[in-house]
Amino acid sequence: MSYDMMVFDAGVAPRDAAAFIAWYEQQTEWNEDHDHDDPNVSAPALQAWFADMAEHFPPMHGPLSDDEDDRAEVTDYSIARHVIYGSFDDAVAERAHEMVQVLAHRHGVGFFDASSDGAIVYPDGTVLIPE
């Protein structure tokens, strides 16, 4: 099992819950023409978020991964231009949830709790809950 969360570029994400969910579904089709494990393809704020996040929850794949690291904190990230999606091990879900939110706030990116209540949190404090 995994606990899934996504951070996003709030400057391009829709501000309506239904439109956001449609945008999220489009983003997670992973149709962009690049590897989805390289943080350098993302917007600068997402790159900064990822750099900080990877210190605590290192990536399973990509240029910063370590095949020898088998800790529960190792995370499966999918990276695009405007979103970074993380699938965290259930054993670290609570810590990951807190860290994702703290770093999202620090770096001015949005946060979407894909596994729990579906809260969509924007850097300005706006919170949307899809119906």
Pair 74, 55: CB distance under 8 Å:
no
Structure pTM? 0.95
**Pairwise CA distance, residues 20 & 128, whole Å:** 9
Mean pLDDT, residues 35-62: 96
**Pairwise CA distance, residues 100 & 27, whole Å:** 19
Amino acid at 63: P
Task: Give me the number of domains the chain comprises.
Answer: 1
117 pLDDT above the threshold of 80: no
Higher-confidence position of 63 and 90: 90
Confidence grade of residue 88 (pLDDT, cut at 50, 70, 90): very high
Pair 30, 82: CB distance under 8 Å:
no
**Containing structural domain, residue 41:** 2-11+20-128
Mean pLDDT, residues 16-35: 95
Please give the pLDDT value at position 127: 95
